[in-house]
Amino acid sequence: MLVRLFKRFFLLLLLAHCPFITRLGNFVVEATIVVATNNVTYQDRIAAFGPRLADEGLLGYLVSVEMIEANNQKGCSKLKRKAPTNQWIALVERGQCTFIEKVRSMQASGAIAVVVGDNKKNGLITMYATGDTSDVIIPSVFIAQTEYKDLRSLSLIVEKPVEVQLVKDNLLQPLLDVIIVVILSPTVMMIFIYVLWRIRQRQRRKQDIAPRQVVGNLATKIFFESKRQENEPQECAICLEDYADEDELRILPCKHEFHIKCIDSWLTTRKKFCPICKRDICSPTEETPLLSNHEPTP
């Protein structure tokens, strides 16, 4: 229930901020023809001109125009003979004249709706018309070749006109499916890629820093100015402050010394390399080229 409400809210929000989606819904509308006797359904598409189907649909009797006039199968002219029943829906074949001419001819003949069937291709199209179509007061739909052949055969075989209902499909779910594929799917993919990137960054960062246990096991000493050798530094290379008597220093495998607080923070949060010579404290036997350059040549 909550998912359904969220989908409706999301669609309404998009319709409010994306006018092109509203226009798409107005011009490309799917519908269904339901045969009352056996509940078989046939997919169709409503024309871009004329009135829309009501929410409750349109109930009538499907009559193939060639049953009334054999030479007027395509419905391009007004029928001279009366239809065999009232509330009839004209079934005509595509071709010979425009869609709007077919609908106007059948409207003038008393039909309450028009079903135009494709006689060549098995696909749905949207029927358009140029100019003023305000005189068209009945709905019309288009069906593909397979559906047209089935409905035509059914209307010709039975003795009485076939009762059918033109039903407007619920646009919410199909349109929402398109939105999910076009918008939400890339968004979910980008979120997934971002999370994966963050995980890899965390793993890489974890590989770049030294374990606290390894850092804690490194040698230490207490500094005294009176005991400092001539070649020993007198300031920490990280904080750049002079060593004071009784300062605790950490001695790295490369023999460089730093304040314990400074070097521990450096090794466990930034890099596991010595700030001076770039030697990896976790690999005491490996030396970098920079360290080698500081060694005297024999």
- In the chain, the domains with their CATH numbers are 2-179 (3.50.30.30), 205-289 (3.30.40.10)
Average pLDDT across the chain, whole number: 81
Say what the alpha-carbon torsion angle 96, 101, 105, 110 is, to the nearest 10 degrees.
Answer: 130
The 3-state DSSP class for residue 42 equals strand
217 Cβ contact list (under 8 Å, min separation 6): none
Instruction: Using a pLDDT cut of 70, give the percent of the chain over it.
Output: 81
Instruction: Using a pLDDT cut of 90, give the percent of the chain over it.
Output: 29
- Range in 175-179, 205-209, 233-237 the model is least confident about: 175-179
- Please give the average per-residue pLDDT across 125-138, as a whole number: 91
Q: 191 or 121, which is more confident? A: 191
Residues 36-68: b if buried by 16+ CB within 10 A, e if exposed: eeeeeebebbbbbbbeebeeebbbbbbbbbbbb
Q: 204 or 257, which is more confident? A: 257
- pLDDT at 12 (0 to 100): 53
pLDDT over threshold 80, residue 17: no
pLDDT tier for residue 294 given thresholds of 50, 70 and 90 = very low
pLDDT over threshold 90, residue 135: yes
pLDDT over threshold 70, residue 260: yes
Question: What are the residue ranges of helices labelled H in the chain?
Answer: 2-17, 19-27, 65-68, 99-108, 145-157, 172-179, 185-208, 212-216, 260-269, 289-293
pLDDT over threshold 50, residue 218: yes
pLDDT over threshold 90, residue 103: yes
Cα–Cα distance measured from residue 279 to residue 232, given in angstroms and rounded to the nearest whole number: 19
pLDDT over threshold 50, residue 286: no
Pairing of strands 140-143, 113-117: parallel
pLDDT over threshold 60, residue 145: yes
- Please give the average per-residue pLDDT across 191-220, as a whole number: 87
- pLDDT at 88 (0 to 100): 92
Predicted model pTM: 0.50
- pLDDT at 94 (0 to 100): 92
pLDDT tier for residue 142 given thresholds of 50, 70 and 90 = very high
pLDDT tier for residue 21 given thresholds of 50, 70 and 90 = very low
Enclosing H/E stretch for 35? strand 30-35
CB atoms within 10 A of CB 89: 29
Cα–Cα distance measured from residue 82 to residue 79, given in angstroms and rounded to the nearest whole number: 7
Cα–Cα distance measured from residue 62 to residue 77, given in angstroms and rounded to the nearest whole number: 18
pLDDT over threshold 70, residue 192: yes
